[in-house]
Structure 1
Amino acid sequence: MCICVNCRHVHNCVTYQLIKKQHNHRQNLNIIKNSFIPKKTLININISYVNQNTYYDWDLIECLSFVEIPGQWIFYR
């Protein structure tokens, strides 16, 4: 599970936006103002094969800029 969902910076983090893009989520057409660039992130990519299809699951598992606020993603605009 991506730790971003409980991070204070989830709303303007460039790494979270990258992970969303890799998960093929709808992209926000607005440019993020005050983009936040986190320090020393570690992304884990799990690869699975189902019925000759390849699936990738991207998760941020470590970030020195992480500031926990449980449920912060709920308030995402």
Structure 2
Amino acid sequence: MCICINCKHVNYCRTYSFIELQHTNQLSYTKPIFTPHNTLIQINLKYYNHKYILDWDLIECLSFIEEPGSWQLK
């Protein structure tokens, strides 16, 4: 699971923007302005509905500041 949803920076983070783009091919906001430090993205290959899909998750980030539910503030 992506830790971004509980981070204070989720609404303007470049890395989360990139991950969101990989999942949906569209962005819900226009200008991510925050670049986090030392991020680690995990990519899982899953077989679903007779095809393979990539699941992208940020699992480590030194810029993470916990603020549960901040993704809902978009």
Whole-Å Cα distance in 1 between the matches of residues 14 and 55 of structure 2? 18
The percent identity for this pair of structures is: 50
Length-normalised TM-score, structure 2 = 0.89
- The 4+ residue runs of structure 1 with deviation greater than 4 A are none
Equivalent residue for 1:58, pick from 48, 51, 56: 56
Give, as a single letter, the amino acid of the residue that structure 2 aligns with 1:74. Answer: Q
Corresponding residue of 2:36: 38
Q: TM-score, normalised by structure 1?
A: 0.86
Give the corresponding residue for 2:22.
Answer: 22
Amino acid at match of 1:14: R
Deviation per residue, 1:36-73 (Å, 9 max, x gap): 00000000001012354111110000000000001110
CA distance in 1: counterparts of 2:63 and 2:29, whole angstroms? 25
Equivalent residue number for residue 10 of structure 1:
10
Structure 2 unaligned segments of length 5 or more: list them. none
Number of aligned pairs?
Answer: 74
Q: Superposition RMSD on alpha carbons, in Å?
A: 1.7
1:70 and 2:68 are equivalent in the alignment: yes
- Stretch deviating more after TM superposition (41-50 or 57-66): 41-50
